[in-house]
A = this chain, B = another copy of it.
Amino acid sequence: MDKPSTRRITIVDVARHAQVSTTAVSKVLRNAYGASPAMRAKVQQAIAELGYRPSAAARGLRGQTYTIGVMIPELRNLFFADIIDGITAQLGGTDYQVLIAPGCNGEKAEARVIDAMTDRNMDGLILIAPVSAKKRLTEVACSVPTVVVGRHGSSPAYDTVTDDDVAGAALVVDHLADLGHRRIAHIEHHETDRVRLAEMPNAQRAEGYKDAMRRRGLEAEIDIASTSYTHEGGYLGAKELLARPRLPTAIFAGADVVALGALEAIAEAGLSVPGDISVAGYDNSALAAFGPVSLTSVDQDGRQMGADAARLLVARIADRERRTVHVKLSPTLAVRRTTAALSRP
């Protein structure tokens, strides 16, 4: 008589069924060195016949868990979804399983989530746009292989993948300047934290904007509304800009959602886009591409970023001593119907 079949099938069962040792089974499982083809075949067959599945928990106690944790600040951001797609695509053929931890808005929540992931012995972490202090990120990276995505500033402890936000801002300014615009304003995300300032994409976009304006000889025209990367921030920022003595002829919003808010304020003011004012966003989200909106926006290749992050992470898991790599991708500009040549000279 068999034992009640509810018991989980273990490596011991497989070993017995295949008439080999548990070590042999383990080796086959891990594709490790030291197992003859004949033994491999026997074990594989036993695994198939018994429907055995290795317990990740048990593996984790000694070796790897074959689990990659991804921290994502906001599920609704479509750009982040692209990154996830890139990660899963890159990891598709491997034994790694991607698990996403939701709801990491703010430093405290981030800490909780990162702890939760390390508690679960994850083999590696991909942190998307984390806001934690650099010191904290370095600590994390020292205890578990880590790749940071979407945050500037290099570290000897972790690899990074970023998009060139300075270049992205320049794409917008150049595009608008080429269309004849001179009074190009910018709506930025107000950053309070000194240390974080230089590392966050929003700051880089503002810097890129200023740099590009200077390069185009428009230094005197630099005009910034400092609000936040939200719909409301865009609305308030645009209202602020429209209330200034010299009206801008173009607004570069630091994010698509900001641009949408700005569009609302512009419409309220009785102005037309792009007739009276051109508007450009950043992220090229689905909202920007959506027909009725048709927003000119900077496109970051999220899939590529995700794929690169996954690739770097796997390499680091394999060799934790390797030098850190910092990938910086180049954005492109998706020109749509919210930007046009300056009509009033």
Tell me the A residues contacting B by CB distance below 8 Å.
53-58, 60-61, 65, 67, 69, 75-76, 78, 81, 84-85, 88, 97-103, 113, 115-116, 118-121, 260, 264, 286-287, 290-293
Report yes or no: A76 in contact with B65, Cβ–Cβ below 8 A: no
Report yes or no: A81 in contact with B88, Cβ–Cβ below 8 A: no
Report yes or no: B287 in contact with A290, Cβ–Cβ below 8 A: yes
Q: How far is the CB of A227 from chain B (nearest CB, A)?
A: 19
Contacts of A81 in B (CB 8 A): 75-76
Contacts A/B (CB < 8 Å), 7 sampled: A53-B119, A55-B121, A57-B65, A57-B120, A75-B85, A98-B103, A120-B120
In the bound complex, CA of A78 to CA of B78 (Å)? 10
In the bound complex, CA of A264 to CA of B101 (Å)? 36
Report yes or no: B55 in contact with A119, Cβ–Cβ below 8 A: yes
Contacts of A293 in B (CB 8 A): 292
Given A65-B57, A81-B76, residue A100 in contact with residue B103 (CB < 8 A): no
Q: How far is the CB of A146 from chain B (nearest CB, A)?
A: 16
Q: How far is the CB of A95 from chain B (nearest CB, A)?
A: 10
Q: How many copies does the complex hold?
A: 2
Nearest B residue to A101 by beta-carbon distance? B99
In the bound complex, CA of A293 to CA of B57 (Å)? 48
Report yes or no: B67 in contact with A120, Cβ–Cβ below 8 A: yes
Contacts of A286 in B (CB 8 A): 76
Report yes or no: B291 in contact with A264, Cβ–Cβ below 8 A: yes
In the bound complex, CA of A115 to CA of B121 (Å)? 18
Report yes or no: A115 in contact with B53, Cβ–Cβ below 8 A: yes
Contacts of A57 in B (CB 8 A): 56-58, 60-61, 65, 119-121
Report yes or no: A88 in contact with B102, Cβ–Cβ below 8 A: yes
In the bound complex, CA of A291 to CA of B257 (Å)? 13
Report yes or no: A102 in contact with B116, Cβ–Cβ below 8 A: no
Contacts of A61 in B (CB 8 A): 55, 57-58, 61
Top 9 nearest A-B pairs (CB, nearest first) are A57-B60, A100-B100, A57-B121, A97-B116, A56-B120, A99-B99, A75-B81, A56-B119, A292-B292
Contacts of A100 in B (CB 8 A): 99-102
